[in-house]
Every structure is written in C-alpha cells, then in structure tokens.
Amino acid sequence: MIYYGANHTLPVELKALENDDHLHMEVHWHDPETQQPFEYAITGESSYRLCAVFSRNSDRSDDSVGVSFGKHKAARDCFEKTVARPIP
C-alpha cells in the first residue's frame, strides 16, 4: 500500500486515500449495488480487514487494482491483508 510507505501508518479510514497523491484512479468506497460503505478496520500495526456484502460468489481473484483480494462468497465476506513494511 503506497499510503503506508509514505505515512508509516495505515489510514484511519478509507476516505483518507482519496487525497493520496499516489492514487491515480477513481475509487469508490461503497458497494455499487447497495450503496453501503465497505467495512474497513485496522487489525494491527500493518494489517487491516476489508469487508463487503457480495451478491454472488466470485469465480476468480480480482487483482485489477494491483492487489489481489481473492475469491469471495455470496453474502458478507472479509479479506485480511497485511502491508509490507518499508525497508528503512
């Protein structure tokens, strides 16, 4: 995560990434069908959980933004991720 490398911390909320100069794409932090926000929680110094409610199972992992979140099931599902710490 570029934000972590630049700030040495995870963002408190996903909206903080909207002002990140390194984010060169439009990102929506809510479900396009339900309009509910994605759930984001910091779980450790360099780890976080991202949850959403999916209307169907995924057939494969989606890494279209350079981060693979893996397959998911229909219903609420979460992804546990850890960012690599920058080398000092």
- pLDDT for the residue 62: 54
Task: Map out the domains of the chain as residue ranges.
Answer: 2-82
Tens digit of each residue's pLDDT (9 = 90 or more) over 7-65? 889 999 888 877 666 555 566 777 777 788 889 999 999 999 999 888 778 776 555 54
Instruction: Indicate the pTM of the whole model.
Output: 0.74
Query: CA 23 to CA 87: how far, in whole Å?
Result: 21
66 has a pLDDT exceeding 60? no
Torsion of CA 49, 42, 23, 2, to 10 degrees: -110
